[in-house]
Copies of this chain bind each other. A is one copy, B any other.
Amino acid sequence: MRVVVVGAGLAGCLFAMLLAKRGARVTLFERNPDPRPPEGRAGSSSSINLTLVERGFAALAAAGLRDQVRAISVPVNGRCIHVDRHDQEYQPYGNPGEALRSVSRATLNKLLLDAAARTPGVELRFGQRCIELDVEQGRLVFESAANGTRYAHTADLIVGADGARSTVRLALQRRHGVNFSQLYSRHTNKELRIPAEYARRAGLANDALHVWPRGDLMLLGFPNVDGDITCTLQLPSTDSPTSFAAIRTERGLLRLFEEHFADALPLIPDLVRDFFDHPEIPMVTIRCEPWSCARVTLIGDAAHAVWPAYGQGANAAFETCTILDACLARNGSDLRKALAEYEQLRRPDTNAIADLSERHFTELRSHLRDPRFLLRKRIERRVRSLFPEQRSLYERIAFTVTPYAEAIRQDVQFRRVVDAICASDELCADVEGAALERFIRAHFATASEEHASA
C-alpha cells in the first residue's frame, strides 16, 4: 500500500514507521526544512517540553523506541508547587516509582525523524508544503519551498498529521456534514528558561514539575536532561492588566514577576530578552467528526488537539497511531471499513480527553493553592494507601493505558468516597486516623455488594 503522511511531527513519524514495518511504502512530507544537524534549527509553534507517560511509551514501544526515548527524558516524580515566594509543597504524582518523563519536543522529534529515516519503506521529503487536497480523488498538490514548483501526488491512503492547523483537515472540514469546532483558551504561553546552574544553586528539584499557580497567571517549569528547566509562562493573551498584550515594557514585566513569581525572577537571566522575543503559543481544542473521507484520514493534533493541562496531547497522538495501525491491519484491503472502525474506536476517547483537558485547565492554575484542594489530595492518597487499585483519574490516565473514556467511568466510584469524606469535618480533621480508615473500608465493602448484586 502506498501511503502519504503529511507532517513529520511526532504522530507523523511514529505512524510512518508503524505502517512501514507492516510493508507499506510511506512518503512523509514535511513543509519545514529538516531540523536535524548540521543545518537544523530548533523552533516550533507547539509546546516546547512535554511529558510522556506509559500511554505514549507503549505506542513508541510498538516501533521499538521505548528505550531510546526514555534515554532522552528525565523522570518527573511529582509537582513542586511554589505556593508563594517562600513556601513550596511537593505532591507526588503516583506511587513510588511512578513518574512522568519530561522531554524536549525538538529532541524527541529529531529522534523520531532519525528512526523514521532508518526504517525501510519510509521516505522523508522536507520543504514540501501541502497546498491542496482533492478528497474525492485522493490527490494532493505540494509546493516545493526550494523553487516554488508545484506537483501532484496520489496514494492509496492519505494521512493528515499536520497539526492543529491542519491543511489536510481543512479539505475535510469544508465538506458538507463534517461537524467541526476549534476552541482556544484565552490564555497563551511563552517559553522561558532557568539554566541548570541557577536551578542547582536555588535547590530546585530536577525530578519535579515546578508550578507557580497564581490564578489567572501561571508559570510551569519542566526539567531537562541537561539540568535546565524549560519554563512556560501562561498569561491571558489580552483583556487583562496581566496579559501578554498589557506587558509592553521591561519595567512592566519585572513588576509582574516581582509580584507573582518573585522566587523565579532571579533564576531566569534572559527573562526580558526572551519575553519580548518569543512568540505567544496558543492552546486549541480540535473536534472533528468525521475526520475521514474516502482514503483520507487524520491523526494526532490534526484530528484531536487538546489543551495541554492534562499533559496528554502527545501521549494521545502516539496512542492514536497504534489504534489506526491496528484498524488497518485488521481490515486488510477494506480501507473504508478500517477508517470507519478507527473513528468509532477512537473518538469516544479523544472527546473524553478533550473535555477533561479543558476542565483540568482551571484546576491546574487555581485549585492547587486552595487548601481544600490540597486536603482532597491528601485524602485521595489515604484512600489509595488502603486500596492501592483505587487510583485518581489523573493517575489512571497518567500511569495506565486504560482508554480515556473508561478511565473517567472508573473514576466515579473513587470520587464518591472522596466527596463523602470531604463533606465531613470530623473525618477531614484526622486524615491519617483510624475513623477515616473504617469509613473508607465500609464504603468499599458496600460498593462491592452493590456491584455484585447489580
Q: Does A429 touch B at the CB level, under 8 Å? A: no
Q: Does A251 touch B at the CB level, under 8 Å? A: no
A287 to B183, CA, bound (A): 11
Task: State the Cβ distance, A278 to closest chain B Cβ, in Å.
Answer: 15
Q: Which of B170, B177, B282 contacts A184 (CB 8 A)?
A: B177
**CB–CB A282/B182 < 8 A:** no
Q: Does A174 touch B at the CB level, under 8 Å? A: yes
Q: Does A420 touch B at the CB level, under 8 Å? A: no
> Contacts of A183 on B, CB cut-off 8 Å?
179, 181
Q: Which of B176, B179, B184, B237 contacts A178 (CB 8 A)?
A: B184
> Contacts of A173 on B, CB cut-off 8 Å?
182
Q: Mark A146-189, 1 if CB is under 8 A from B, else 0.
A: 00000000000000000001000010011011111111100010
A422 to B424, CA, bound (A): 42
Task: State the Cβ distance, A283 to closest chain B Cβ, in Å.
Answer: 10
Instruction: Give the number of residues in A that approach B within 8 Å (Cβ atoms).
Output: 19
Task: State the Cβ distance, A190 to closest chain B Cβ, in Å.
Answer: 14
**CB–CB A182/B181 < 8 A:** yes
**CB–CB B181/A181 < 8 A:** yes
Q: Mark A58-101, 1 if CB is under 8 A from B, else 0.
A: 00000000000000000000000000000000000000000000
Residue on B nearest A184 in the bound complex, by CB? B177
**CB–CB B174/A184 < 8 A:** no
Task: State the Cβ distance, A196 to closest chain B Cβ, in Å.
Answer: 32
Task: State the Cβ distance, A291 to closest chain B Cβ, in Å.
Answer: 14
Residue on B nearest A237 in the bound complex, by CB? B177
Q: Mark A264-291, 1 if CB is under 8 A from B, else 0.
A: 0000000000000000101010010000
> Contacts of A188 on B, CB cut-off 8 Å?
176
A280 to B174, CA, bound (A): 16
Residue on B nearest A287 in the bound complex, by CB? B181
**CB–CB A174/B179 < 8 A:** no
Q: Which of A165, A170, A176, A284 has the most CB of B within 10 A?
A: A176
Q: Which of B177, B180, B282, B287 contacts A176 (CB 8 A)?
A: B282
**CB–CB A182/B184 < 8 A:** no
A284 to B184, CA, bound (A): 21
A170 to B173, CA, bound (A): 11
Known: A177-B184, A177-B237, A181-B287. 7 other contacts (CB 8 A): A170-B174, A176-B188, A176-B282, A178-B184, A180-B180, A181-B181, A181-B182
